Amino acid sequence: MKISVYVATTRGPVRIERITREAAPASQICVGRTTSVLPISPDYDSFVRQPSGVIERAFGPYEPGGFRLDVSADIGDGNSWQLPVYVAHALAKEGALAGVNDSPDIALWVTGTVGVDLQVAGVEFVEEKLSASRDALATLVDSGCRVTVVVPDSNRWEAGTDLVPDGVGILGVRNTSEVLQHVELGFRSLALDGPAAEPDELVPLSMESIYMPRWRLISMFVSMLVFAGIGTALIWALPEMAPGTIFRDCEVCPEMVVVPGGTFLMGSPPEELQREDYEGPVHKVELKPFAIARYEVTRSQFTSFVEESGIPADDSCFVRTGSGGRVDESKSWRDPGYAQGPNNPVVCVDWNMAKAYLAWLSRRTGLEYRLPSEAEWEYAARGGTQTPFHVGSTITSDQANFNGTKRYGDGAKGVYRMTTTPVGSFPENAFGLHDVHGNAWEWVEDCWNDNYRNAPRDGTAWLSGNCGRRVTRGGAWSSHPGNIRSANRTRFILEYRNYNFGFRVVRDLGP
């Protein structure tokens, strides 16, 4: 399959004919495979090269030299060529970019700018560009080519159906990840109105994005086809993600890590110091692989949710005052009563608000985010250990953020910071998670039960029992060390907001 990419200009569409590597000291754009180098070439070279170049940041560093990008005509000035060039590089790396002598199966008409963070910004003259391209797009449709118009989401209202010929799909995007998010694990072949490709025809999976793990294929055009309703058969390959794979599904999404499947003993044995009866009986649980956030959800990430969703989240919060505590109407996640930065865990969040964040994140990415089950949380927190803490039989304030003036077993006393610390301030466990001991209590999905008798053995959440109270795990900056053990658990009503309560997220792998 061959896919052509057209740069939208006010003079009509300009086809990107090929992208090749050359020994030249800089990347350049040329017209029609001639020596005619366009004046915009220095901007293209900057768009390619690290440290700020988008192409090398997205697809990895290249060998010394430059790219030569051949186009069918001058693309003018400005920077609305960036998104089509980005798409063309993605396709060229997979061998799917249609050359000048190829008859493309699919055509993408693209305009938009791309920042170093892969945000897609709006551009000018979209209506003029579409008007200038209408006849050419109609010709492509008449030839049997499948055509999709791709514009920044802020320009979507300008790309009305009255400006494009019948049979042309329209896709508005806010960032490059939005056109990738429907592609979870890559694909081996895309069959249009026909059978799937034979094994020797399979497309190799090799590309990656700044927001995607190495196992994830950069297939912008597949999302566009799905959006436009093009294609009758989509065959997806599901290569297993290696444990430890780190990825993000969008620029404001939590950073996730793949946790291997396995079996572990959940709960604490009777001899564990400071354990409670409701932490038992110890029982075997078997889990399939899943992805969990490396860090607790941060204030910055929660701010994006509040600002985009418009959901009010500024109600009161329980705070400590001396030896007691009270609900303070003036406190909230914005001001929990102590100073926090954008990378500190968000607190003063109840279970319901955590679920609202997850619903927003799922809508934003098109993927299913959720709270971890209690079993998933403990399995991930232990990181393959059965000791009270993933660091061993005791813990110090050099290893986690808790009330270090209290000791656990023969552990040493340390400091009491009396505030959250930025996520990731302490070493990760064997599964790549930070702050599973202390910093902020973390809500999980499960209803409260007084013991583990009849608890699920497959890692799923226990959704019977006292569902008016949900489980929290991990302890907080104010906790004694016995309360930050891997097996420790407690419960609170769904509406309870506390100045040391936060959460982290989970996402299932595969469809």
Residue 322 confidence (pLDDT): 63
Q: Report angle CA 366, 379, 370 to the nearest 5 degrees.
A: 20
Residue 51 confidence (pLDDT): 66
Say if CB 16 and CB 69 are below 8 A apart: yes
Q: Which of 59-68, 175-184, 220-229, 413-422 has the highest mean pLDDT?
A: 413-422
The pTM of the full predicted model, rounded to 2 decimals, is 0.58
pLDDT tier at 179 (50, 70, 90 boundaries)? low
Give the C-alpha separation, 43 to 450, whole Å: 64
Q: Which amino acid is at 292?
A: I
Widest pairwise Cα distance in the chain: 79
Give percent of the chain with pLDDT exceeding 90: 63
Say if CB 314 and CB 334 are below 8 A apart: yes
pLDDT digits (tens, 9 = 90+) for 442-457: 999 999 999 999 999 9
Give the C-alpha separation, 438 to 459, whole Å: 23
Q: Which helix (H) or strand (E) holds 370?
A: strand 369-370
Sequence-distant (6+) residues with CB within 8 A of 307 are none
- Residue 455, phi then psi, degrees to nearest 5: -70, 150
Q: Which of 13-22, 39-48, 66-75, 482-491 has the highest mean pLDDT?
A: 482-491
Domain ranges of the chain: 3-235, 246-507
pLDDT tier at 324 (50, 70, 90 boundaries)? low
Tell me the CATH number of domain 3-235, given options 3.90.1150.10, 3.40.605.10, 3.30.230.10, 3.30.1490.190. 3.30.230.10
pLDDT digits (tens, 9 = 90+) for 217-272: 333 333 333 333 333 222 223 345 688 888 888 989 999 999 999 999 999 999 99
Structure tokens at 445: 């999905």
Q: Which helix (H) or strand (E) holds 502?
A: strand 501-502
**Is residue 313 scored above 80 in pLDDT?**
no
| Eight-class DSSP state of 48 | H
Structure tokens at 266: 């959940």
Tell me the CATH number of domain 246-507, given options 3.90.1580.10, 3.30.360.10, 3.90.850.10, 3.20.20.70. 3.90.1580.10
- Residue 157, phi then psi, degrees to nearest 5: -65, -25
Residue 201 confidence (pLDDT): 30
